[in-house]
Structure 1
Amino acid sequence: MNILPVDRALSKYGTLADRSETKGAREGLSKHLMKMYAEGERDEHRLTVHGLSYLRKLDQEIDSRS
């Protein structure tokens, strides 16, 4: 898989949510998207959208712990 969807999702999410990258986000996102890629998803735009959803969920989990 091209790393581009990971970078795109992190960049777009950082801009939209006005948040900096959280510790471990890149690694977790990469694993999540690689799993999707291994399961057959090849569209980079869909992978980016799934990445954005993953990051939003991650931030919600972090916020709920605070």
Structure 2
Amino acid sequence: MKSAIDRILQTYGLLTNREAAAAAQQRVENYIRTLVEGGETDVDRLTVCGLVYLREQDGSNVSVKAGYTGM
């Protein structure tokens, strides 16, 4: 779990900035803990899920905001 969280925060820091990654640490730890308690053990899957979670939380994963309208 620790290695997945470290990878998530490092990658998220590259996508945004280190301050945003530090601010998101507690949220992502809680989320990853929930996934692990649910039975997920694959570090790569935990990392991807954590990054998707953070991107959804900060609104940068909104397809319309990114210019995709479905047309």
What RMSD over aligned residues (CA atoms) do the two structures have, in Å? 1.8
Between 1 and 2, higher relative CO (CA 8 Å, sep ≥ 6) is seen in 1
Structure 1 runs (4+) deviating above 3 angstroms are: none
- Normalization by structure 2: what TM-score? 0.71
- Normalization by structure 1: what TM-score? 0.76
Question: Could you say which residue in structure 2 is the equivalent of 1:31?
Answer: 30
What's the secondary structure of 2:18's corresponding residue? coil
Matched pairs, number:
59
Identical aligned pairs, as a percentage?
Answer: 34
Q: Return the structure number with greater helix share.
A: 1
Higher-Rg structure is 2
